[in-house]
């Protein structure tokens, strides 16, 4: 593989963040992690990810607010976002659709399902 695709993981559960970093690193991706939405938006500016894995329920700033911020900024307006959520209510799904997410995956999930969605979004 030429350049590794950059993936930013914004997840407040430390154990899940570490597991995701390990899984994606071994899958050949360049990974950065953030523990909340505020930190995630800061890292987007310097890391310039090609894909963002985004938890919805986080301290400081939730995933929906992060998504709104990403979509308002020209450099990130089209960056694919894969939402990680434990709560897939119809209202939440409608909001995600309106914010043009690349997809979502419900926690807990199988690593193979996650990698499949990531590879599909990054066309690998």
Sheet harboring 30-34: ordered strands across?
Answer: 30-34, 6-10, 51-55, 81-85, 103-106
Task: Quickly list H helices, the chain.
Answer: 14-26, 37-47, 63-72, 90-98, 111-121
- CA-derived radius of gyration, the chain: 13
What is the 8-class DSSP label of residue 73? S
1 domain-assigned: no
Could you list the residue range(s) of the whole structural domain that residue 16 is in? 6-121
Q: Judge contact between 98 and 83, C-beta under 8 A.
A: no
85 domain-assigned: yes
92 domain-assigned: yes
Per-residue model confidence as pLDDT tens for the chain (124 residues) = 458 999 999 999 999 999 999 999 999 999 999 999 999 999 999 999 999 999 999 999 999 999 999 999 999 999 999 999 988 889 988 999 899 999 999 999 999 999 999 999 998 7
CATH number at residue 69: 3.40.50.2300
């Amino acid at each position: 593989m030429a350049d590794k695709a950059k993936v930013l993981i914004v997840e407040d559960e430390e154990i899940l963040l570490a597991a995701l970093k390990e899984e994606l690193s071994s899958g050949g991706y360049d990974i950065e992690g953030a523990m909340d939405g505020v930190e995630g938006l800061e890292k987007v500016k310097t890391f310039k990810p090609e894909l963002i894995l985004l938890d919805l329920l986080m301290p400081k700033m939730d995933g929906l607010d992060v998504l709104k911020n990403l979509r308002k900024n020209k450099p990130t307006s089209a960056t694919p976002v894969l939402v990680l959520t434990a709560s897939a209510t119809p209202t939440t799904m409608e909001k995600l659709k309106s914010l043009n997410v690349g997809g979502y995956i419900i926690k807990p999930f199988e690593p193979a399902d996650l990698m499949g969605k990531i590879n599909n979004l990054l066309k690998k």
